[in-house]
Amino acid sequence: MIFTVKAEVSLKRGHFDPEGDVAAKALRDLGFGVASVRVGKTYTIKVEAADASEAEAAAKEMCRRLLSNPTKDDFKVEVLGFEGRSG
C-alpha cells in the first residue's frame, strides 16, 4: 500500500535560526506584533509499506539518513493516510 507520511524537520531548541529572525523582522516591519519566528521544513512523502507502522518507521529512517542532520535538527513523523494497493 502507499502511505502518505508527513515528516517535519525543525531546528533543535536553542539553535540559532537566522531565517526565522529575518522573517520575524519582516513581519514586524509590516506591522505585525510578532515576538519570534522559527522556520522548519515538511516533507510529504508517499511511501510503499505493508502497514502504517512500517510506513512510520521508514519515514523515521529517511529523516535519520537524509532529511535531517542530528547536529541541528529534530524531526517528527506522522502517517496521514493511505491509498490502497500499489502496482
Partner 1 sequence: MKRARACVLRVGGTNCDEEIKVALEELGLRTDVVHMDWLEKGDVHKYQLLVFPGGFSYGDYVRAGAVWGKRVVSKIRRDLERFIESGRLVMGICNGFQVLVESGALPGGDGAFSETPKAVLANNSSARYECRWTYLRCENGSTPFTSKIPVGEVLKIPVGHGEGRFIVESEELLRELIKENRVTFRYALPSGKAAEGAYPFNPNGSEYDIAAICNKEGNVMGMMPHPERAFFGWQAVGYGGPEGAGDGRRIFESIIEHIEGL
Partner 2 sequence: MKEGLVRSICKDPPILAADLREAADKDLVEISSAMGLALSLQEMKAIQGHFGRPLTDVELQTFGQTWSEHCIHKTFRGEIQTEGGVVNSLLKSYIARATMELSKPWCFSVFEDNAGLVEFDEGHVIAAKVETHNHPSAIEPFGGAATGVGGVIRDILGVWGEPIALSDVLCFGPLDIDYSELAPGIKHPRYIFNGVVAGVGNYGNNMGIPNVSGAVLFDRNYAGNVVVYCGCFGILPKSGYVKDTKDGDLAILVGGRTGRDGIHGVTFASTDLPEESEGLRSAVQIPNPLVEERLRRAVIRIRDEGLATGITDLGGGGISCATGEMANRSKLGLTVELDAVILKEPDLAPWEIWVSESQERMLLSAPERNLGRITEIFREEELESCVLGRFNKTGRIRACFKGATVCDLDLDFLYNPPRTTRRASRASAVRKPLILEKPKDLKVELLRVLSDPNIRSREEIVRTYDHEVRGVTVVKPLQGFEGGHNDAAVLKPLRGSWMGVVISCGITPFYPDPYWMAGCSLEEALRNNVAVGGRRIAILDNFVWGNPEKEDRMGSLLRACEACYHFAKAFETPFISGKDSLYNESPMGPVRPTLLITGVGIIPDVRRAVTMELKRAEDPVYLIGVTKEELCGSAYLRVKGVEGGAWPEVDAASSKSLMDALTKAIDAGHVAACHDLSEGGAGVAAAEMVLGSCLGMELDFRQMIHETTRSDFVLFSESQGRFLVEVREDQEEEFKKVFKGLPARRMGRVLGERKLEITDLEGGKISVDLEELAYAWRGISWN
> Which residues 65-84 are close enough to bind partner 1 by CB under 8 A?
65-67, 69-72
Instruction: Report the C-alpha gap between 52 and 20 in whole angstroms.
Output: 33
Backbone dihedral angles phi then psi of residue 81, each to the nearest 5 degrees:
170, 180
**Closer residue to its own copies, CB minimum distance, 52 or 58:** 58
Q: How many residues bind partner 1 (CB under 8 A)?
A: 21
The yes or no reply on residue 29 touching partner 2 (CB under 8 A) is: yes
Window 28-87: residues binding its own copies (CB under 8 A) = 30, 32-49, 58, 61-62, 65-67, 86
Amino acid identity for residue 43 in this structure: Y
Give residue 73's identity as a one-letter amino acid code. D
Those residues whose C-beta lies under 8 Å from the C-beta of residue 15, and which sit 6 or more positions away, are 72
Q: Give residues in contact with partner 2 (CB under 8 A).
A: 12, 14-16, 18, 22, 26, 29-30, 65-66, 69-72
